[in-house]
A and B are shown apart, each in its own frame.
Chain A
């Protein structure tokens, strides 16, 4: 199989296939050096999670982006509970809040002034 030589580089599928084959054989060689006598059915076959039990539920294993903010959300749980209930996703509600807020600011400014 002939390759492509563009002057800037070369491409030969057969060479790459041989390279991957060689790398795979080396990887298998390394794998064969490992021990195979561990007890797979015992704790030795389970993941090490700092001594904690491996969760059975897939949801407990899944780390979401939300987990990064767990400390903030948990610390401000009271605020988030109220804010989330106000967050309807309807633009009319947000405009209403804006108008009410603006009116409150005007009242305060005019009252103070």
Chain B
């Protein structure tokens, strides 16, 4: 959390992509937005379209039908962007590893910047992951990476 004070240059808009998760991680993402954890106090807000997003939060092991959609959503997100994988399924495909209908984990499909482990990941861990993504984004901005 030390990166936070330097990371308040602007609000961070996050787009959530569920690629076949059991909804456990998705519920924890929602929990991170509740008053108990209150992610919005850091300027972190869920947005309804990747075209407005700085960060992609990806959950799930990536099922076969979701693969082209995940790629498309990643491409539609403007640069600089960061990808945060939430949960064990996105990181390793978890219990769905080598399943006939799973083509994940996520880093086989799109580049991943931050992994948040857990089954499901706790809201504090998700916030920590997003803050790490902020640091990554700031690095990209300093490097002048734009679309």
Let me know if A48 and B69 touch, CB within 8 A.
no
Let me know if A51 and B72 touch, CB within 8 A.
yes
- How many A-B contacts if CB must be within 8 Å? 35
* Interface-lining segment among B73-81, B88-96, B118-126, B131-139: B73-81
Q: Is A5 an interface residue (CB 8 A)?
A: no
Which of chain B's residues have a CB closer than 8 A to the CB of A48? 49-51, 73, 76
Number of interface residues of B (CB under 8 A): 16
Q: Is A50 an interface residue (CB 8 A)?
A: yes
Q: Is A85 an interface residue (CB 8 A)?
A: no
Let me know if A43 and B69 touch, CB within 8 A.
no
How would you classify the secondary structure of chain A's contact residues: helix, strand, loop or mixed?
A: loop
Shortest C-beta distance, A60 to chain B (Å), equals 17
Q: Is B46 an interface residue (CB 8 A)?
A: no
Shortest C-beta distance, B39 to chain A (Å), equals 22
Which of chain B's residues have a CB closer than 8 A to the CB of A39? 147
Let me know if B69 and A51 touch, CB within 8 A.
yes
Binding site for A on B (CB under 8 A): 17, 49-51, 66, 68-70, 72-73, 75-78, 146-147
